[in-house]
Structure 1
């Protein structure tokens, strides 16, 4: 069995796309850990609900506890870094914070956003840069983890897609894994997504899991495969992949 650590900046990042992959990985008895860097308190949804930032952060934290139960996560850690302001934090401090959780879980696979952040949100971009730097530094130190660094992404949109214009995808050639899943995995992912009651209008409008109906796509840093893997736990490398990309 493998250990996976997903690192995302906001509540719901794990459910607006990756959740079916997490559901499959737990069904297959892998350890699946989730680290969320903020409580997502700065969302504009709080204005619709008439909540302060503190109140919104508390509500979203509670929603994440339901997500952890629906997906049967091995662990969930929700930090209280400032939502929308990760770019104002010294990246060395941010890396040190994340490293504590990486060392605790010793993941075979470390996952975050791709370089474009999908939505382009500054917190997504910071998460990519810091996690990638940290992963390479750990491997350069001779740590046995992570064996794989992956970036959750979207594939190119079909011609008939109604994907929102602000969402970015990765070229098909860069996608090294497309995690397939069962109907039961999707049901668990839907249940997790709908745990975010504060976001139900957004969920109903955009139907985010429709973007992954053919599988959850990931870029694999420093790896090349003849065909995309069917899950992040397949064919884990035992080479120092940073040497191949330096």
Structure 2
């Protein structure tokens, strides 16, 4: 069995697409940890519910506890970096918490957003850059660290909100299939976000992954794409014992 660490900036990022793959991974016995960098307090949805930012952040934090229980996550850590403000932070702050999470959980596979961030949200772009930077800095001295995967949507999808970016199919290196029971768990996890039900109904995120949950793999290429994110993990040589510690 493998250990996977998903790193996203906001509550619900793990459910807007990746959740069926997470459900399958837990069903198969893999350890799945989730690190979320903000509480998502700045969302405009707070105005519909009459919440302050602090109140919205607390509500979304509580919603994430529900998600963790439904998906059976091995662990959930929700930080309180400013939602919508990651680009203004010293990136070393983000890199430090990402590095600490990797050292703590010892994942073979780390998952985050692709370079385009799917939605293009600045927090998504910053998270991609921070996670990739840490992965590159640590993989040469941490032999357990084997793969960096970017959750993405493949081009040509019929069911996709028009504002979302996709990846060329030639760049898709893994597309994780899932069972009906995994999809049911993913839908139940999405339902935990009671403050986001209007957004969920409008965007129907699980309709975008009917072909499978797709990923780009950093510095790997598979054609056809892998059907399991933990399959054919590369063996990384430990050639730089003095790699910088973040």
TM-score range, shorter chain: over 0.9
Q: 1: CA distance between counterparts of 2:126 and 2:200? A: 25
Alignment of 1:93-104 (within 5 A): 93-104=93-104
Q: 2: CA distance between counterparts of 1:27 and 1:45? A: 33
Alignment of 1:15-164 (within 5 A): 15-140=15-140, 142-158=141-157, 161-164=158-161
Q: 1: CA distance between counterparts of 2:237 and 2:6? A: 21
**Shift in Å, 1:23:** 0.1
Measured on the aligned residues, the alpha-carbon RMSD in Å equals 1.5
* Structure 2 portions without partners, runs of 5+: 241-246
User: Aligned with 2:139: secondary structure?
Assistant: helix
Alpha carbons 2:159, 2:208 under 8 Å: kept: no
User: Aligned with 1:93: secondary structure?
Assistant: helix
Q: 2: CA distance between counterparts of 1:104 and 1:186? A: 29
Q: 2:231 matched to which residue of 1? A: 234
Q: 2:243 matched to which residue of 1? A: none
Alpha carbons 1:11, 1:64 under 8 Å: kept: yes
TM superposition score normalised by structure 2: 0.95
Moved over 4 A (4+): 240-243
TM superposition score normalised by structure 1: 0.95
Q: 2: CA distance between counterparts of 1:171 and 1:18? A: 18
Matched residue count: 240
Alpha carbons 1:136, 1:242 under 8 Å: kept: no
**Shift in Å, 1:226:** 2.8
**Shift in Å, 1:98:** 1.2
